[in-house]
Amino acid sequence: MSVSNGWTPERRARQAEMIQQWRPWEKSTGPVTEAGKAKSAANSRNTGVRAARREVRAVLALIREYDRQEREIRKLIKL
């Protein structure tokens, strides 16, 4: 029986066996150089909570600007 993504149960089992033999988690050491560590530390600024906060602040700034312009238009209409 074939799965829509092309991974049959047999293929999945074979891949699991090979990964157990390769044991890639034992070879992963993470960044070693200071430059690599700095780049890794910067990842959270680009994709983490800080980035989400930055996006929220940008949206809020757009909303404030929209409100300010709307108030100006309403003042002009009342003149």
Each residue of 26-74: pLDDT tens digit? 998 889 999 999 998 888 777 888 888 889 999 999 999 999 999 999 9
Q: Is residue 50 within 8 Å of 44, Cβ to Cβ?
A: yes
pTM comes to: 0.44
3-state helix, strand, coil in the chain (%, to 5): 75, 0, 25
